[in-house]
Amino acid sequence: MPQKRPLRETHPALFGPGPQPWFRPSSSPEKFIFFRCFFVLLLSVGFHVKLSAQVSPPETTLDSAPIFAKLSQRSVNVFDGNPFGEALDELAEQANVAIWIDRKIDHSATISAGQVGPTVYLSMQQIAEIRDCVIMPVRDILLVGRPEWVEETAVSLARLPNDSLDPINVSWSNATTPSEIVESILDEAKLRAEAIDLPHDLWAANEWASVDPAVALTLVLAQFDLRLVAATFPKRMKVESATARERYAVKYEVTPERTKFLAAVRQRDRASQVQTQGQTMVVSASAAAHRAGTNQFFIEQSKMASSPTDLDTENLALNLLNTPANQVFEKLAGAAERTCVIQDSAEEACKTLVSFEAKKSSFRKLVAEVARLAEVTAEWTDQSLIISGR
């Protein structure tokens, strides 16, 4: 059973653990934590970005700068033997980012991503690619899923009026159907509408706080390739098929990366249009083109995130179960951007299976503990982690 992760009430939009919308029995942790190593380094990156989506009426804009800043933070991670959904959830929680994951992707599939990064965005993108998924930030929410689903959902969200209704809090228990969730959203928003007959499914417990009812409804409907008819909502709640073929306008300020950003947009959508307004530009394009442009932006931002890894910052977590010490040394050294050198005198001892769990630790402390368990000596240099026999 996926774990319930309450939304943070301080977050202005939906904050959740990714939908994991179906009900499934819990799995034994040992199945997934043969080698599980997770750590994140978050440092501020010097840049300015403003994202706003033009919707109906035209003067309404949506400021999504916060999620861009969070996704651009430095992040160095190692994931091995984690369930796909769990790895994304942990990254999202560390960066305080809201995510919504395509229900047609197996969240429980075990991944072996190794080292990912060097930013939150690229870490999540590299994990998503293992399951043939893409990611895209829209309305302060990071969408994760099949390309066509992400683009359909992006269009559905971009078409919504901004802050058309007061935000609501809504929650549901395990094994709740999506139709029941829609009914709860309508009740909380005090909207009168005919019941929507969605396909039968059982979703895991979840809790949304301070979420726009239109956004909440759109996210639920998107799991079934449906969307609200924005022109009639909230006076009348009508549903239609979602599509990724519609263009929509977004206002960007990405001065340092403007040329590469626009090149990526135009490569995906030759009919895209750009209007410059002072330090900003309004881009009208397909969701695929917006995704290509923002992806290029984050690639450029990642180049600013390269800085030496601090071995003593205590912001790492490690969970090991019967894992060869040499594998742990190699992965920790790689994540610390150093080469692992295991000398002949320590080769046999490094085959020792180690098990322990640590939270809020540092590279130096984690390596020291593994070395103690394997009865070897570890020494850090600027370029290497050297393991020798005692």
The per-residue pLDDT for range 128-157, each reduced to its tens digit, is 999 999 999 998 899 999 999 999 999 999
- Whether the per-residue pLDDT at 260 is higher than 50: the answer is yes
Is the pLDDT at 259 greater than 50, yes or no? yes
> Do 231 and 378 share a domain, yes or no?
no
Mean predicted lDDT score pLDDT of the chain:
80
pTM for the full model? Answer: 0.72
Specify whether 100 is located in the same domain as 242. Answer: yes
Say yes or no: 117 and 213 in one domain. yes
Domain boundary among 283, 307, 331: 307
pLDDT band (50, 70, 90) for residue 262: very high
Q: Which of 278, 307, 336 is the last residue of a domain?
A: 307
Say yes or no: 302 and 324 in one domain: no
Considering the domain architecture, whether residues 180 and 329 belong to the same structural domain is answered as no
Which of 167-176, 254-263, 333-342 ranks highest by mean pLDDT? 167-176
Task: Output the CA–CA distances (angstroms, integers) from residue 138 to 135, 142, 266, 365, in the order listed.
Answer: 10, 6, 19, 39
As a whole number, mean pLDDT of residues 248-277 equals 88
Which residue range(s) make up the domain with 173? 1-307
Same domain, 55 and 156: yes
pLDDT reported for residue 308:
63
Distance CA 379, CA 151 (A): 48
How many C-beta neighbours within 10 Å does residue 327 have?
19
Q: Provide the pLDDT confidence category of residue 279 given band limits of 50, 70 and 90.
A: confident
Categorize the per-residue pLDDT at 230 as very low, low, confident or very high, splitting at 50, 70 and 90: confident
The DSSP secondary structure of 271-292, one letter per residue, reads T-EEEEETTEEEEEE-HHHHHH
Give the domain CATH number at 321.
Answer: 3.55.50.30
Q: What is the Cα–Cα distance from 144 to 53, expressed in whole angstroms?
A: 19
Q: How far is Cα 353 from Cα 375, in angstroms, rounded to an integer? A: 11
Could you tell me which residues come within 8 angstroms of residue 235 by beta carbon, excluding any fewer than 6 positions away? none
Mark whether 298 and 326 lie in a shared domain: no
Backbone angles phi, psi at 47, to 5 degrees: -165, 165
Strands across the sheet containing 141-145? 98-101, 141-145, 134-138
Question: Using an 8 Å Cβ cutoff, are 230 and 161 in contact?
Answer: yes
Same domain for 254 and 320, yes or no, is no
CA 150 – CA 311 distance, rounded (Å): 37
Closest of 311, 388, 319, 315 to residue 354, by C-alpha? 319
Residues 6+ apart with CB under 8 A from 372: none
- Least confident window among 122-136, 181-195, 281-295: 181-195
**339 and 225 in a common domain:** no
Q: How do residues 330-347 score in pLDDT, each as one tens digit? A: 989 988 888 999 999 999
Q: Report the number of distinct structural domains present in the chain.
A: 2
Mean pLDDT over 346-358 rounds to 93
pLDDT at 32: 27
What's the confidence (pLDDT) of residue 316?
A: 75
216 with 327, same domain?
no
Task: Map tokens 């969701």 to a residue.
Answer: 287
Find tokens 């996926």 and name the residue: 2
Listed residues 274, 307, 340: the one ending a domain: 307
